[in-house]
Amino acid sequence: MPTLKFPAPKLQLLPIMGDVALYPVSRIFCVGRNYVAHAAEMGGEVDREAPWYFTKSAQALCQSDETVPYPAGTSNYHHEMELVVALGNPAFQVERGRAMDTVFGYACGLDMTRRDRQQDGKDARRPWSLGKDVENGAVIGAITPKLDMAPLGPQRIALQVNGETRQDALLSDMVWAVDELISHLSQYYHLNAGDLIMTGTPAGVGPVVAGDVIAGQIDGLAPISHRISEPE
């Protein structure tokens, strides 16, 4: 074993429904503007030529049911409810017809966003990292194996803040389906087991404040919960 100068980063793990084994997280890819109504509410349009992406660090992962402080550097912190795809097999330049063979399972996820810092990046035509790669900003629930999930499409995706519904749509509203996303992303990356794809959010995103409780659901998947406490 090599001698480390500093402790290695914590291995990020997610629970798997019906299994004592855990899912090790490698990378987190995120899809932008994959619901037409969300793109419109953000003042943009969907790029129908090809999907596009940004990333979150695996160290931004946060388990469901945790309470975390309101993050530093923002006064406009937003929720975004998403379907998360967990890969279980390698994929490089895979055809769409074979893309689903790479999927291990699915989970509910929250892409928590410093909206003001994201807007700063947009206005200056600079990266969104301060807006999107937020500590505890990739909230992901337990993974349901693909074989235990009905084919994607008609499932409802919804989110509530303090019991009030803010997001409510269907997975079939996604512009780019999961197989299209995997095939396209694999043209640029050697995807592998441990990679997660957050597939975009429907309309209804909005701010949260300290004291808020966020709850999200996708039919057939373990629900997700997230609580915001006072800033540090």
Domains in the chain: boundaries: 13-229
For the record, the structure tokens of 225 come out as 């919960």
The CATH code that applies to domain 13-229 is 3.90.850.10
The pLDDT value recorded for residue 1 is 82
Provide the percentage of residues in the chain whose pLDDT is more than 70: 95
Residue 42 has pLDDT above 70, yes or no: no
Q: Are 182 and 102 in contact (CB under 8 A)?
A: yes
Residues, the chain, total?
Answer: 232
From CA 81, how far away is CA 160, in angstroms rounded?
A: 10
Span 76-130, pLDDT tens digits: 999 999 999 999 999 999 999 999 999 999 999 999 999 999 989 888 998 889 9
| Mean pLDDT value of segment 20-26 | 98
Which residue type does 194 have?
A: G
Report pLDDT for 153. Answer: 93
The answer, yes or no, to whether residue 207 has pLDDT greater than 60, is: yes
Q: What is the mean pLDDT of residues 213-222?
A: 98
